[in-house]
Amino acid sequence: MDIHNTTEDIVFSVVQTIFNDIEKEGNPGGFCFCDQCRMDTICYALNRLEPHYIVSNRGITRIERDGMQWQQIEADIATLVYKGLRLVNHFQRPTAPHDGSSTPGVEKSEPSFDIPTIIGRLFDGVNFAPVSGVTVTLRREGELVAMRNPNWQNPYTLISNTPGTYTFWPAPIPAEAADIHQTFAYSLKIEGPDYDPLTHFFKIPAVSKIQTISSYSLDRTFKLPDLYLFPPGEAEQNG
């Protein structure tokens, strides 16, 4: 099934045009044009726009027919992009390089194991409410697991606006060749001031491939069972 959101095309095009125009003008505002700031600007706009999906060339034809409408949409998107650009540059991600360099990683031409996104939930073992303020650390063979890019943190601290849920997207693991089946053992260490520490062990099977997955997908997730945290001594009292 091939479904395409044409709004993404317009946003990407508008962002590219605006960034190019600012650079030609000498960038008097001192904006950062690194890949991370570009992506954050694009996400800012897309999260505030309605998607427009097509499934065939008829959808493209309809867009061409409604040219005047799309011109207005492009103008509205440009206004949104300028606003997003200013906000993104004011609140730049401290984990991303802003000097034009890219994050190092496994090249697409090299065989590697693509580990799926790891997702899980944590609850209070007494009142069953989702918890926040605890830190989850992902390790493999005793070592801290590197993430796909700096936007994914390890250790990960659960915050109040995403209570109970933690996520990790491990970087690809280099392989000697393609089509190798291997199982990787991981551990989670969960710590918080109001709870006894908890360690959870699990394994993820993977097959090495030449091409690596470059974008996040909800279809490629490894869901862990719900875990429950208890105040100090509470677990022993309840047996």
* Average per-residue pLDDT for the chain: 81
Name the DSSP class of 19: H
**Which segments within the chain are labelled E, that is strand?**
4-5, 53-54, 112-113, 117-124, 135-140, 143-144, 156-157, 165-168, 173-174, 181-192, 195-209, 221-223, 227-229
- Work out the pLDDT band at 193, boundaries 50, 70, 90: very high
Q: Domain ranges for the chain, please list them.
A: 4-90, 112-237
Q: Tell me the backbone φ, ψ of residue 20, rounded to 5 degrees.
A: -65, -40
Q: pTM of this prediction?
A: 0.64
Residues 137-166, mean pLDDT to the nearest whole number: 87
- Work out the pLDDT band at 12, boundaries 50, 70, 90: confident
Residues 18-28, mean pLDDT to the nearest whole number: 90
Considering only residues 162 and 225, tell me which one the structure prediction assigns the higher pLDDT.
225
Q: Which two tokens stand for residue 99?
A: 């000097």
Q: What is the CATH number of domain 112-237?
A: 2.60.40.180
Peptide bond just before 163 cis, omega within 30 deg: no
pLDDT at 148: 85
Most confident of the ranges 13-27, 176-190, 198-212 = 176-190
Per the document, the length of the chain is: 239
